[in-house]
Structure 1
Amino acid sequence: MTPTLAAHIPGILAPEFEADPYSSYSLMRDEAPVYYDDQLQAYVLSRYADVARAFKDPAFTNRNYEWQLEPVHGRTIVQMDGREHATKRAIVAPSFRPKVLFGQLAPIIETNAVRLVDEFVARGGCEYSSEFSRLYPINVTADMMGLPVEDLETFRGWYTAIIDFLGNLTGDEDIAAAGIRARDAMAEYMLPIIADRRENPGDDLLSTLCTAEVDGTRMSDEEIKSFASLLLTAGGETTDKVLTSLVAKLVEHPDQLADVRRDRSLIAAALAETLRVAPPLHMVMRQTAEEIDIAGTSIPEGSTVICLIASANRDPATFAAPDCFDIHRTDVDAAREFSGASKQLAFVHGRHFCVGSLLAKQEVEVGINVLLDRTSDIRLSEGFVPVEEGVFTRAPRRLLLDLTPAT
C-alpha cells in the first residue's frame, strides 16, 4: 500500500505549510518519513538518513531536471552523470577553487560589497534584502563573467522570472510562460557574447570556459550559456536568501552577533549554521532509476522523489537541539561544511555537491565583514519581525535594520 500523509499534517502545497514548514517537517519525520503526494505526484523524504542516501546512491538520478531545469536553463552539469558529468565538472571547477576566489576574484567580490553597503550605512538603516542581498550575488556573477554593468537590471528581470519558474509547484501557466520568455531572451543575449569570447578571450569566467578543455573536450556554446544561466539564477538565488537569513538570525541572537563581531573567523560557523537551520533551498528532486526500498516503502522505478533538505537538517537523530540557531554547536564542523565532507545538506552530497559552495562562502564572508566593518551596531528596526516566506526557496522577504555607523 502506498503511504500517504495523514490529514493533520499540512502537505507541501497547503497554506499552513508555507506559514510554518518546520512543524510539518517534524510530524513528517515522526509519522510519515516516506509518503506519496498526489498533488505533486512525487514521493517525499524527510529524514536525514534517507535524504542523504538519495544524494549519494546512484539509483537516485537527476533525470527529473530534464523537465524541471532544462526548459529554462538548457542542459547543465547538474543533470549529467558518469564520464560526461566528470569531464564537464572538471572544466568548470577550477574557476571556483580557493586560489581563484581568494586571488583574481577577491577584488570583484569586495568592490561590489563595499559599494552597496556604503550606500545605506550612512543613512543609518536599510531594507537589507532589497538593498543588498538581492543585488550583491548577481552583481558579482555578472562582473565575474565580464558582462556590462548597464545590463544588470535586465539580468535581474531574467533572474526573477526563472526563479519563479523553478518554484512553480502549482504549475501556474503565466509563471511558466514568463520563465520561457526569460530563457529565450537570455539565450539571444548570451550566445553572441560567448561566440565573441571564443574569438577574443579575456580574463573573465566566460572566456575561461570558452578556452578550457579536459581530455580534449570543451564546453559547447550552448553548455556555457546554460551554465551561465544556472550561475546567474540558481546560484544568485541561494546566496541572496542565505545572506538575508544569516543576518536575520544574527540580529535575532545579539549575543552571537557580538561574538561574530569580536571574532570574524566565526562568520563561517554562522553561515554553516544558517545553511543548516534555514537553508535557502528547502527541497530538491531526484528520479529513481530502479525500484528502491526506503524505510520499508517501495518506491517504483521512474518515480519523482522530493528530498526535504530543510527537514533533514533539523532531524534530531543527527543534530542536537536541531531547531536552535547556535553558531557554537559542536556537532557541526564549520571547516568541513563547504566541501563534500559537509554534514548539513544545503549543498547536497555526493557527486553533485554544489560546485559554487566556496564562491557562496567567499561572497558571504566578504559581505558580512564589510557590513561589520562599516557599523558599530546592527539591530532590527523597532517593531519589525522578520518573517520567512517561500516553499521551494525560503527566507525573509524583508529585513528592516537600524544601523549605527562605525566611528
Structure 2
Amino acid sequence: MTAAGHAPDLLSPEFAADPYTAYDAMLEHSPVTWHEGMQSYVISRYEDVSRAFKEGVFTTENYGWQLEPVHGRTILQMSGREHATRRALVAPAFRGSELEHKFRPVIERNSAQLIDTFRGRGSADLVTDYARHFPINVIVDMLGLDRSDHARFQRWYIAIIAFLGNLSQDAEVTAAGLRTHDELAAYMIPIIRERRENPGDDLLSTLCATEVDGTTMSDEDIKAFCSLLLAAGGETTDKAIASLFRNLLANPEQLAAVRADRGLIPKAFAETLRHTPPVHMIMRQPAEDIEIGGQRIPAGSTVTCLIGAANRDPRRFANPGAFDIFRTDLPAETAFSAAASHLSFALGRHFCVGALLAKTEIEVGVNQLLDAMPDLRLAEGAETAEQGVFTRGPASLPVVFTPA
C-alpha cells in the first residue's frame, strides 16, 4: 500500500479546513490508500473514480449500512432489472415536458417568494436566506405536500444530511437521523395512502400511479424515494447555488459575463460542480477482488471515491485549481447527462436521476437572483469559508446590492 505519510487524514480538522491541498498531495503521491478510521480504501484519481462509477463490479451494497437506516431501501441500493425498472418508474418526472411544464412554475414561484423577503433590503445571506430553503421548498411543493410544513422538512433535511456525513460516527447525529426516519415515515405513509385514493396533479400522485411492466411502487418504496429526494435533491442544489455565487464573486469578470449573457449559467453551474462540488465523496463496494492503481482491494471492502479530488486531477483537466467557466475540457452540452466530464453526478447506471431538475433550479434561481441584485457584491468583511467533508459548501455568503 502507498506510504501512509503521503495520505492525509480525511477526519482531521486540517483536512476539513482545506481538503483541496490534501487532494493535490493524494493525486500526486497516494492515489490509492487505506484509511483506518473510516475502514475504507480511498481513491482520488479521475480514471479510478470514473471506473468505480461505471464498472459493474463496483456495487452499491455499501448503501445498506450507509443510507438504509435513515431512508429505507432506495433505488441507489438496487441493481440489474430491479434498478432499471425502478429508475424507469421515477425518471420521467425529472425530465422533458413533465419537468418543464409542470414543475418549472413551482421552481419559479418558490425562488421568487424567497427573494421577495430581501429584494428591497439591499442585503442578504445567500445561504441562510435563500439556498438552504429553495430546493427543499421546491421538493415539498412538487410532492403536493402542505406548504406550512416547509420548516419541518428543513429540519428533517438537516438531520438526514448530518447522518450521511457522520464519518466519525457521532452517536447524537446517528440518533437524530434514526428519529427522522421514523418521523418522516409517520408523516408520509398516511399521505401516500390518501393520495392513492384521491390522486392530484403532483409528483406524489404520479409516483403512486406509475407502472412499468406490471411493477408499481409500494408505500414504503415511495416514502424511501421521497426521503432520498429530500437529501440528494436538497443538498446538491443548496450548496451548488451558494458555491456558484461564491466562485463568481471571486472572479468578477466571469460574474459580469454571466450577468450579460444568461446563456452562460449552465457553464457556470458545470464548472462549479467540477471545481467545488456539493458532494465530495461517494462510496462503492467491489463484488470481487479488484486492482486499482496497482493496489489489490479485496471483495466486500468499502471504497471511498473522492469526487472533489478527481474533478481536480491534472491528468484530466487543465489548470484544475482555477475556476474558469470558459474552459474547453468541460462541455456544458453534456454536463447534465451520463456523458458528463465532471463526476459530481456520478456516472453509469447510478447517474443522478435529478440532474436536469438541479439544472433547472440553478437556471431559475441564478437568473432571478441576478435580476434582483444588479450590483451584487460581497458584504465588507464577509466570511465565506466552506464547511463540510462528505458534502461541502459555504456556511454563509453575506452580500449587499442596490435594490432593483
- Tell me whether the two structures share a fold, i.e. TM-score over 0.5: yes
Alpha-carbon separation, structure 2, partners of 1:65 and 1:193: 26
- 2: CA distance between counterparts of 1:143 and 1:88? 23
Q: Which amino acid aligns with 1:185?
A: E
Query: Equivalent residues in 2 for 1:3-402 (5 A)?
Result: 3-6=2-5, 9-402=7-400
1:122, 1:86 → 2: CA distance?
A: 48
Could you tell me how far apart the structure 2 residues matched to 1:282 and 1:192 are?
Answer: 35
Secondary structure of the corresponding residue to residue 354 of structure 1:
coil
CA–CA distance in structure 1, aligned partners of residues 315 and 96 of structure 2: 33
**For 2:291, what is the secondary structure of its paired residue?**
strand
Per-residue deviation, 1:185 = 0.2
Distance (Å, rounded) in 1 between the aligned partners of 2:35 and 2:7: 12
Instruction: Mark the runs of 5 or more structure 2 residues left unpaired by the alignment.
Output: none
Query: CA offset at residue 4 of structure 1?
Result: 5.0
CA contact (8 A) 2:33 2:41 kept: yes
Distance apart, 1:5 and its partner CA = 2.5
Q: Would you say the 8 A contact 1:194–1:210 is kept in 2?
A: yes
- Aligned partners of 1:386 and 1:399 also within 8 Å: yes
Amino acid of the structure 2 residue aligned with 1:169: L
Q: Distance in 1 between matches of 2:3 and 2:55?
A: 24
Distance 1:201 1:328 in 2: 46
SS class of match (1:326): coil
Q: 1:67 to 1:4 in 2, by over 3 A?
A: farther
8 Å CA contact 1:128–1:398 kept in 2: the answer is yes
Residues 180-201 of structure 1: per-residue CA shift (max 9 Å, x gap): 0011000000000000111111
**2:7 touches 2:33 (CA, 8 Å); kept in 1?**
no
2:233 alignment partner AA:
G
- Structure 1 unmatched runs, 5+: none
2:7·2:30 contact (CA, 8 Å) conserved in 1? no
8 A Cα contact 1:4 1:36, kept in partner: no
Code of the aligned partner of 1:10: P
Letter in 2 for 1:401: V
1:294 partner letter: I
2:386 and 2:336 map into 1 onto residues whose CA distance is 24
Q: Deviations over 1:369-398 (max 9, x none)?
A: 011122211100012141011100000100
> Aligned partners of 1:371 and 1:271: how far apart in 2?
14
Task: Give the conservation status (yes or no) of the 8 Å contact 1:4–1:37.
Answer: no
Name which of structure 1's ranges 113-122 and 62-71 shifts more when overlaid on structure 2.
Answer: 113-122
Report the Cα distance in structure 2 between the residues aligned to 1:20 and 1:376, rounded to whole angstroms.
Answer: 32
Kept in 2: contact 1:56–1:350 (CA 8 A): yes
- Runs of 4 or more above 6 Å deviation: none
- Which is further off, 184-193 or 249-258? 249-258
Question: What's the offset of the Cα at 1:9?
Answer: 4.3
Q: Which amino acid aligns with 2:125?
A: E
State the shift of 1:90 in Å. Answer: 0.1
**TM-score normalised by structure 2 residue count:** 0.99
**Does structure 1 retain, via aligned residues, the 8 Å contact 2:160–2:231?**
yes
C-alpha distance in structure 1 between counterparts of 2:104 and 2:18, whole Å? 38
SS in 1 for 2:102: coil
Distance 1:149 1:111 in 2: 12
Distance 1:267 1:112 in 2: 19
Q: Is this contact kept in 2: 1:48–1:318, CA < 8 A?
A: yes
Aligned equivalents of 1:9 and 1:57: distance in 2? Answer: 26
Q: Is the 8 A contact 1:63 1:287 kept in 2?
A: yes
Aligned residues: 404
Q: CA deviation at 1:340?
A: 0.6
